[in-house]
Amino acid sequence: MNEVKKFLFVNRKAPYGTIYALESLEVVLITAAFDQDVSLAFLDDGVYQLKKGQQTKGIETKNFSPTYRALDGYDVEKLYVEKESLDARGLTEEDLLVDVTVLGSREMGALMDEQDVVLSF
């Protein structure tokens, strides 16, 4: 009865410097609970959200990066990272704390095109 829509969450901001990444993750978890078709896209500084080895004790802020690893428990398994953004930051897939699908820029654009709802924060 409830229509399933394709939701894409576009993450383009680094963690900790601003709250956007954390509050975006909170929406992702809620959206999954509504049984929607959820995908996450990481571009530009958003790819830093997935960097392994985050240690936030020194800035007295909660390290929320383990939540990305818990996403598959919520049936959120479609995580896409733009290759050009990784390259521009000297990162590779091995630097990331979860399994992702790496896409070229235009493939990322095609993914965006096919969504029903695109949310960015």
Partner 1 sequence: MKFGIVVNEGPYQHQASDSAYLFCKAAVEKGHEIWRVFFYHDGVNNATRLTEPPQDDRHIVIRWSKLAEEHKIDLVVCVAAALRRGIQDENLAHGFRISGLGQLVEAGIQTDRVVVFGD
Partner 2 sequence: MLHIINKSPLGNNSLDACLRVAASGDILLIEDAVYAATKGNAMEGKVREAMSRLKIHILLPDLEARGLADRIIEGVAKVDYGGFVDLVAANKNCQSWL
- Binding region for partner 2 (CB under 8 A): 10, 12-13, 20, 43-44, 82, 84, 105-106, 108-110, 112-113, 115-118, 120-121
- Smallest gap from Cβ 56 to partner 1, in A, equals 17
- Smallest gap from Cβ 8 to partner 1, in A, equals 11
- Among partner 1, partner 2, none, what binds residue 7 when CB lies within 5 to 8 Å by partner kind? partner 1
Burial class (CB in 10 A: 0-12, 13-18, 19+), 111: buried
> Quick one: tokens of 114?
């096919």
- Among partner 2, partner 1, none, what binds residue 55 when CB lies within 5 to 8 Å by partner kind? none
With a CB cutoff of 8 Å and minimum separation 6, the contacts of 104 are 82, 83, 84
**Residues in touch with partner 1 (CB under 8 A):** 2-3, 5, 7, 19-20, 23, 26-27, 30-31, 33-34, 36, 116-121
With a CB cutoff of 8 Å and minimum separation 6, the contacts of 2 are 34, 35
